[in-house]
């Protein structure tokens, strides 16, 4: 059995920088027509000059693949002129609460001070992408942040706000309260719970932020995705870290899912009896919510089992060493 996906998109992707691009870019460029690139580098991507240089670096590793990096800027106080100059070069602005995840120390610490930039974003029709967590107890962080989403969505009704990598049943329910809210959901949050991370031996390669939640939360995500929710898009949040960053005191957060994203999505959609909804989840809904037209690229998935390598260089992928029923190959 084969299926062909048209212009599959990864709406939340960490490619990192430097030598890591040699691993991450070709992998995603082969499987996807485009991806939304996160800006939380060691030095955040918060200027047009830095953004252009980063995009050029990414494109240099695409190796003739038809792949469009949809760039984002790291949220800070921007003037209207700055945003107008960046407008045609970005898909959105990414907001991180300060210190809440990897390389987010320069994020927002005072939400009362961001009003003017939000006004500009709304007027210029630039989407706001948000890592929605508080600094409270780790399992409550996303739920506690939902009131921030409610405030933003009600005060800026014409601003497209994307709740990135949602993990809770409460976040799914919030989507139906406001027309201007969308969300991304990751592969790993559709598959694992906190029990997989630390219920037996601690598995650092499954440690991510937001952390995996309860079976109830996972079931709510799966029910929404497998019913074709019209405001939920696929975003892998694939976030590679070398071994010395994972097997250490102060383990880095991030799941490297790029190599297995499409095959495992095909597998879990097939298991749910909803394989016909995969196209919407990985492309159509994102195109509609963002108003984008990605490269016309076809990617064929076939039922050919393969074993996921334990490592790509020194990065361990999601499902390392396990068998997957589906494989990906580019279609003409």
Among residues 110, 109, 81, 77, the alpha carbon closest in space to that of 93 is found at 77
Tell me the residue ranges of DSSP E strands in 7-91: 9-13, 34-37, 68-74
Among residues 256, 295, 264, the alpha carbon closest in space to that of 281 is found at 264
pTM of the model: 0.97
CA distances from 220 to 65, 134, 138, 226, 257 (A): 36, 21, 19, 10, 21
- Which residues are known to be catalytic? 237
* CB neighbourhood size of 4 (10 A): 11
Break the chain into its structural domains and give their ranges.
2-330
pLDDT (tens digit, 0 to 9) for every residue of the chain, 332 residues total? 899 999 999 999 999 999 999 999 999 999 999 999 999 999 999 999 999 999 999 999 998 999 999 999 999 999 999 999 999 999 999 999 998 998 888 889 888 899 999 999 999 999 999 999 999 999 999 999 999 999 999 999 999 999 999 999 999 999 999 999 999 999 999 999 999 999 999 999 999 999 999 999 999 999 999 999 999 999 999 999 999 999 999 999 999 999 999 999 999 999 999 999 999 999 999 999 999 999 999 999 999 999 999 999 999 999 999 999 999 985 44
CB 217 within 8 A of CB 168: yes
Q: Pairing mode, if any, of strands 306-307 and 323-324?
A: antiparallel
193-201 long-range contacts (CB < 8 A, ≥24 apart) are 193/217, 193/218, 194/139
For domain 2-330, give the CATH superfamily: Metal-dependent hydrolases (3.20.20.140)
């Amino acid at each position: 059995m084969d299926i062909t996906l048209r212009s599959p998109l990864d709406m939340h992707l960490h490619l990192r920088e430097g030598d890591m691009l040699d691993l991450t870019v070709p992998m995603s460029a082969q499987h996807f027509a485009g991806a939304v690139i996160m800006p939380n580098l060691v030095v955040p991507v918060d200027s047009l000059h830095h953004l252009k240089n980063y995009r050029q670096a990414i494109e240099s590793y695409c190796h003739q693949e038809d792949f469009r990096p949809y760039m984002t800027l790291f949220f800070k106080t921007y003037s209207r002129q700055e945003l107008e100059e960046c407008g045609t070069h970005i898909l959105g602005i990414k907001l991180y609460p300060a210190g809440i995840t990897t390389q987010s120390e320069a994020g927002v610490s005072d939400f009362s001070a961001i009003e003017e930039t939000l006004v500009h974003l709304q007027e210029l029709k630039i989407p706001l992408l948000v890592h929605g967590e508080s600094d409270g107890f780790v399992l409550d962080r996303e739920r506690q942040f939902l009131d921030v989403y409610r405030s933003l969505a009600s005060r800026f009704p014409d601003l497209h706000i994307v709740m990135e990598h949602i993990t809770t049943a409460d976040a799914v329910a919030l989507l139906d309260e406001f027309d201007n809210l969308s969300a991304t959901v990751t592969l790993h949050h559709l598959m694992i719970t906190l029990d997989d991370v630390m219920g037996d031996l601690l598995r650092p390669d499954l440690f991510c932020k937001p952390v995996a939640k309860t079976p109830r939360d996972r079931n709510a995500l799966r029910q929404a995705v497998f019913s074709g929710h019209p405001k939920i898009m696929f975003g892998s949040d694939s976030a590679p870290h070398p071994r010395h960053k994972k097997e250490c005191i102060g383990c880095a957060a991030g799941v490297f899912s790029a190599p297995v994203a499409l095959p495992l999505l095909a597998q879990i959609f097939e298991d749910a009896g909803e394989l016909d909804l995969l196209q919407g989840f990985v492309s159509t809904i994102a195109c509609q919510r963002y108003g984008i037209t990605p490269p016309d690229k076809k990617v064929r998935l076939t039922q050919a089992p393969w074993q996921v390598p334990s490592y790509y260089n020194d990065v361990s992928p999601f499902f390392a060493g396990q068998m997957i029923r589906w494989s990906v190959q580019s279609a003409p």
